[in-house]
Structure 1
């Protein structure tokens, strides 16, 4: 990347150090086969009917020419009622990723001495983490997962330095699937200095069925340095509307609101999210259908001899190593798109029953070597 000032404009040098974000690709069109996208952890059942009604009414309202209310006060109030938190503790963003960008850009970057703040997270985890951290001017510190694809919390504690400003915990972990327990998180927090922010990213919490799973909202109530991230993209089926939020103490939210992008959440997204919260029983029914399919598919894959870590999201991880590209290509030939991560493994979203059945037939032929 050129840095010459004589021939053209040029971006910040950090751009050359940022990994590209690789979104899940759409499936190939194969004659005679219905194509299924299993690469982006989308909810195959979509939003509940009440949300569809909201979208229809909004399209007819003529309000697309009007700006939304900047603080999403109505949605924050509804989130407060639903989860028993103060509305002022909620900051909305364009998905949980938008909320994360607000957090990192507010609390990590370059210090007054010119040195980069550090942000610790497990790796592999959500691939946007290093992008967001580096874009803010901070330094990412990646701590390898354990052999069973879980956060290595002891190693994350050991990685803390006097430059550490933020630590990210992704639970359930995307793309590998395991979740953190309450005991694990509280034990970890006991080792973290109170001036360091700990973000509990719970984008997939609704799919978590682990009996000892941590509840970030419960933790934030007892630890002033904890921030919780959640989204309407996954369980609620609102990925395209881009609405998520963070929950933290007022001493944190007061700064997040300063850095928040104005009008990041549209009025349509806000109204749809509220309608979904008003029909949580229907949302939970759809989530349970995904969970049931996840358990069925994972059990079948293990019977075929594949190693599949315990997943508590709407996806599962196949640590296939060098065979990963082969799996991606094989799935493509069956009109299925899955998300390959180099030669580490593949993340497969739980899809419709027919998609899952086709995947299992394919994996039976793919075989274990």
Structure 2
């Protein structure tokens, strides 16, 4: 068995069924296990109903106690030699199934939680000023994105068109983005609906954090640069974002939890508490099969719990299937930067690929794949589901 996908991992996804429908599955090694099929065979009617859907939302809506109970049932049956035949009957090779977007995304928020990334971007765009804006260390900065354009890994990405204005252009022009970029991120899937006017504290956040998935927030830097003053990202971000088909449960990542970097100045009271943690995730970014970056999530400044608490502090409600993302993950070293904007320093230091070509930003036909591993219980590493996409030419109309 592939140890990266062992019994301590067991991510959730959604795959086709023989009758043309879809159901919730998990991954074990290089196989998938149909969970509704398995639950029916094991006379677990509750789980059969829960997992017999084309998204994880009905399961996510049941809350933390059900998430834990389902995982305990699944691990128990996989360890039970007497039920091996039941498992085998529900098992298929991964290569024979089609995976879908695992969650019906309710709302999507993207944060800006890496100090290294924010410092790099500030240094690029404000070379004569402070790299970090005055508010950055006081609150997790974010923007509300477009849930309807979150697509599953493997979906081609059409180069967006829009307005842009270069520094030498007398007027704005319209056309395909010429500074198309990636953002290597980690997404968090949320469950446990709340009412408008209420808020979730950092110590309550764990009851709402269902799982983690790799995420690529494709970015048209030229469209973004022209539009984002004064209200922030819009069309430069909303054309597509890619989510892994596999959601790793938070319970699988207990061994990956670490202390946050020192937060100075100390955040306000609502961003403090016992529920704060970082994650020791090691990402890898490949451009056309060449590793161009290895961003470490463990350097992220803001905790997922702080991001969720800040997201709701004004009374904004949560819905089952909400997604929030970390923002670009970047480390201290050049080869740990999670975007081409940083890796090429806005085009001043292009990357040279093994075939002799150079990249500052993405060209049509380029494929970007992000993978990651985390510490596994008992030692070793476990994998997170990859996220990949290939750039297709802009459409004329």
User: Normalization by structure 1: what TM-score?
Assistant: 0.23
- Greater share of residues in strand: 2
